[in-house]
Amino acid sequence: MITISYKDSTNEVLLNYYHENGFNKTIAVAKSMYNINLKKAKKNFKTDVNGEVCETVLEIGILEFMKRYPKACKEWVLKKGLIVKDIDDPNNGFLTEIDLVLATPQMIYLFECKSYTGKKVLTNECTITTPSRSFNVYKQNFLHAKTFLAQFTPYRCNKDSEVFPIQLALFSLAKGEIVDSRSDKNKALMPLVEIESLFAFLAKNVQTSSKKVPTLWKMPYVKKALDIISNKSDANREKHLNYVKDLHGKKK
C-alpha cells in the first residue's frame, strides 16, 4: 500500500499547477499559501507545509531556468531531499539531509531552504535570527558540503582550478522582510537567494560565447552517483529522522 504525505501532496500539487499554468502564476499561488490560516491544524503542520512550499518553489524556479536555457542546462541534474551518509564510516549512524542539490558541469549547488515568518536578519557566516529563534545555517550546511564532497571528489576535474567546486546557498521564501547584514565575504560564502534573484544567481556559472567558466565535474559519473543516493534516500529518511531525534535528545 502506497501512502502520500501532505508534504508530498504539496509538492505534487504545485508542480502540476506549474506544468499547466506556467511559472509566474505558480509562484503567485505558492506565496499566497503563506496567508492561509492554519491555527487549528495539527502541531508542525503549517511549518512542514511552509517548508515544502519553499523547497518546491526553488525546484520550480530551477526547472523554469532549465526550460528557458535548454542548451546551457542540458547536463544539469536536480535532486531534492537527498540523505547522505558518512563515507569514511558508513555504519556510524550519521545521516544528513540536503534540501536540494543542483549539479552542473561548472558547479554543484547545495541549497538550504528556510521559510521563517516575520522579520529575519542574517549575520556571521550565515546565522538567521528572528524575534523567536536563531539558527546557524552555515554550520549545518558546511557539514553537508564536507560529507557530500567526500563522496564526490573522485568525479571532479580541473582540480587545479581556483574555483571551489561546491557552492552553498540559502533559499528563503516566507512572509516578512529579510535583512542581510553580513560582510561581502560571508555573503559570497553562502549567498542569500530568493525567487526574484534565483535566475541571476544561476546565470553566474553558465558558460556563454563571451564568458568562459571552467568545467569542474564529470557529469556522467555525478549523475550516476546522485541517482544511487536518491534511490536510497527514501529508505534512509526514517533513519535520518530517528538520528535527528536521538541527537536532539542527547543535547537536552
* Residue 35: inside a domain: no
Res. 34: pLDDT tops 90: no
* Residue 67: inside a domain: no
Closest residue by Cα to residue 60 from 24, 33, 105: 24
Res. 3: pLDDT tops 80: no
Question: pLDDT higher for 2 or 14?
Answer: 14
Question: pLDDT higher for 178 or 84?
Answer: 178
Closest residue by Cα to residue 115 from 191, 201, 49, 43: 49
Q: pLDDT exceeding 70 applies to what percent of the chain?
A: 83
* Residue 218: inside a domain: yes
Res. 4: pLDDT tops 50: no
* Residue 31: inside a domain: no
Which amino acid type is present at position 103? A
Question: pLDDT higher for 31 or 208?
Answer: 31
Question: What average pLDDT does range 12-20 have in this prediction?
Answer: 96
Per-residue pLDDT band at 196 (split at 50, 70, 90)? very high
Res. 227: pLDDT tops 80: yes
Per-residue pLDDT band at 252 (split at 50, 70, 90)? very low
* Residue 200: inside a domain: yes
8 A C-beta contact, residue 84 and residue 151: yes
Q: pLDDT exceeding 90 applies to what percent of the chain?
A: 65
Res. 189: pLDDT tops 90: yes
Res. 103: pLDDT tops 90: yes
Per-residue pLDDT band at 244 (split at 50, 70, 90)? very low
pLDDT for the residue 127: 97
pLDDT for the residue 30: 94
Question: What average pLDDT does range 8-13 have in this prediction?
Answer: 90
Res. 2: pLDDT tops 60: no
- The string of pLDDT tens digits covering residues 104-115 is 999 999 999 999
CA distance linking residue 32 with residue 209, whole number of Å: 39
Question: What average pLDDT does range 165-170 have in this prediction?
Answer: 97
* Residue 212: inside a domain: yes
* Residue 30: inside a domain: no
Mean pLDDT of the chain: 86
Question: What average pLDDT does range 158-164 have in this prediction?
Answer: 91
Res. 166: pLDDT tops 80: yes
pLDDT for the residue 76: 98
The domain tally of the chain equals 1
Alpha helices in the chain (DSSP H): 6-21, 23-32, 45-68, 137-152, 184-189, 198-203, 219-251
Q: Which three cell numbers stand for residue 208?
A: 556563454
Within 10 angstroms of residue 129's Cβ, the number of other Cβ atoms is 18
Write b or e for each residue in 29-64: b if 16 or more Cβ atoms lie within 10 A of its Cβ, otherwise e.
bbeebbeeeeeeeeeeebebbbbbbbbbbbbbbbbb
* Residue 91: inside a domain: yes
Q: Which domain holds residue 214?
A: 75-251
Res. 176: pLDDT tops 80: yes
